[in-house]
Structure 1
Amino acid sequence: MNDIKILSFLLLGFLLFLFLSTFIKILKEYERGVVFMLGRFWRVKGPGLVILIPFVQVMTRIELRTMVMDVPTQDVISKDNISTRVNAVVYFKVVDPQRAVIQVANFIDATGQLAQTTLRSVLGEHELDEMLSQREELNSRLRKILDEQTDCWGIKVTQVEIKDIDIDESMRRAIAKQAEAERDRRAKVIHADGELQAAEKLRQASEILSLSPSAIQLRYLDTLNNIAGDKSSTIVFPLPMDILNKLTGTEVK
């Protein structure tokens, strides 16, 4: 008999606990509760202890911490008709629990679907080179668009990051060849520019030397000195007539 009473008390206590847990809630610091009374919005409560009126009030628990969502890989056709596969990550949080519950059925799924369509539409407006070189600008634009569109749901998109941009192997080889051709072009341009500068310096030097015959003679003698220092056994060189005239003291025609 005593055993039956004990079991009855335990069962009653368990049922009472279940009943109280249904209408007594404890919300953490980063949680809020959207309370409805008889189907109508009443107020946002929390954090701490929240007591609901049995059978009259119900509560939806909302988390305010920043959430991280991986956007699945999307097939994107760039503006220059190159097929790419792009994925991203979105950081967002609830700033208005009331709108996050009332304005959209599931704000997490809705934000994810919106992020996928926005990623495809925005990247499709750019060429592949822009996707690879202007990632920061694209991240900023994606964040701004998502933030504006989710504002009516009480959602704040804080950051969007494009993680990977994958292309076919054949396209990678084509891009590598293009980069190699660009490097060769730059090398030729630099070489040609160097030749042009050298020719200009030589022209300026010849103009300066033409104004001073003695400078030409000194340059000639310096060249002879350099040739004499070579290991060649035989040296043949022209002798300017003006130098010969000065050496012999006569005029040679």
Structure 2
Amino acid sequence: MNPTYLLLIILGLILLAGIRVIYEYKRALKFRFGKYVKTLNPGFRWIIPIVETIQVVDIRVITINIVSQEVMTEDNVPCSIDGVVFFKIYDPEKAVLEVEEFSFAITQLSQAALRDVCGKVELDTILSNREEMGKNIKAIVEVETHEWGIEIMDVKIKDIQLPENMRRMMANQAEAERSRRARIILAEAEEQAANKLLEAGLQIDKSPSAIKLRLYQTLSNIAAEKNSTILFPFPEEVLPRKKRKSE
């Protein structure tokens, strides 16, 4: 084979071996003989095979689950809490060069922060203020990740597992609270009804005609029941008095 053709084939293979395509949502750090050179932007890129290598970093929002952590709250209630962390790399160079494995590091930081934050408050606070707990965890984690070129977007507490006896106690407490509210509402309704009846009685007392109308209405309602016979005492004082004939 002609040496020229052989040289062209080898050169073509070298050129093909160095072709790299970087997607829009990624960045690539180029190293030459192990030393960082620069960060490659998206598009068609070429590196020198063997001499140069690249490490690709995803700059989209990434999620990491916080595995369930055993936490003892301030009021000595044991519980298991898990969550999720949302973060984004804004400086690929720092994310690769400043920390060995940023995903693992963020996971460890988040677990420690979750135990620290939830261990300083009572159980009721955790249950009612999950959003606030997440913000406190985020504030602790992002202090460290800022040095790594990583922004913590948000931290959410997903699930809180309580012991069986604690769940029963909370269910009983909730049932008692619902019963208390129902009794209060019933008492308020009875009070309002009594006030209305009192107002109606006062109005009827002011007018004898109103007493008659109420009596006639009651008789009409009773007469609608055709299957029973009811004796109703007729108050004499509500009847019209007969005029005596003058002698």
TM-score relative to the length of structure 1: 0.73
1:110 aligned onto 2:105: yes
Give how far 1:115 is off: 0.9
CA separation in 2, counterparts of 1:137 and 1:249?
84
1:67 aligned onto 2:62: yes
Contact preservation (8 Å) 1:69, 1:90 = yes
CA separation in 1, counterparts of 2:231 and 2:37?
109
Deviations 1:64-117 (Å, cap 9, x if unpaired)?
A: 343332211101223443221111122223210122133323222211111111
CA separation in 1, counterparts of 2:205 and 2:195?
15
Give how far 1:154 is off: 0.5
Cα distance change of structure 1 residues 58 and 234 upon mapping to structure 2, 3 Å threshold: closer
Between the two proteins, what is the percent identity of the paired residues?
37
Match of 1:209 in 2: 204
1:174-213 superposed matches below 5 A: 174-213=169-208
1:99 aligned onto 2:94: yes
Instruction: Give the aligned residue type for 2:242.
Output: T
Contact preservation (8 Å) 1:73, 1:87 = yes
Specify the SS of the correspondent of 1:32: strand
Specify the SS of the correspondent of 2:27: strand
CA separation in 1, counterparts of 2:205 and 2:31?
100
Match of 2:20 in 1: 26
Contact preservation (8 Å) 2:134, 2:156 = yes
Match of 1:88 in 2: 83
CA separation in 1, counterparts of 2:111 and 2:161?
16
1:239 aligned onto 2:235: yes
Give how far 1:54 is off: 6.9
Runs of 4+ in 1 over 6 A off after TM superposition: 37-40
Cα distance change of structure 1 residues 240 and 137 upon mapping to structure 2, 3 Å threshold: farther
TM-score relative to the length of structure 2: 0.75
CA separation in 1, counterparts of 2:27 and 2:219?
95
Specify the SS of the correspondent of 1:183: helix
Deviations 1:170-197 (Å, cap 9, x if unpaired)?
A: 1111111111111111111111111011
CA separation in 2, counterparts of 1:109 and 1:144?
18
Aligned residues between the structures: 230
Deviations 1:185-222 (Å, cap 9, x if unpaired)?
A: 11111111110110111111122222212112221232
CA root-mean-square deviation: 3.3
CA separation in 2, counterparts of 1:229 and 1:53?
103
Give how far 1:153 is off: 1.0
Contact preservation (8 Å) 1:27, 1:33 = no
Alignment gaps of 5+ in structure 2: 1-5
Give how far 1:49 is off: 2.7
Match of 1:49 in 2: 45
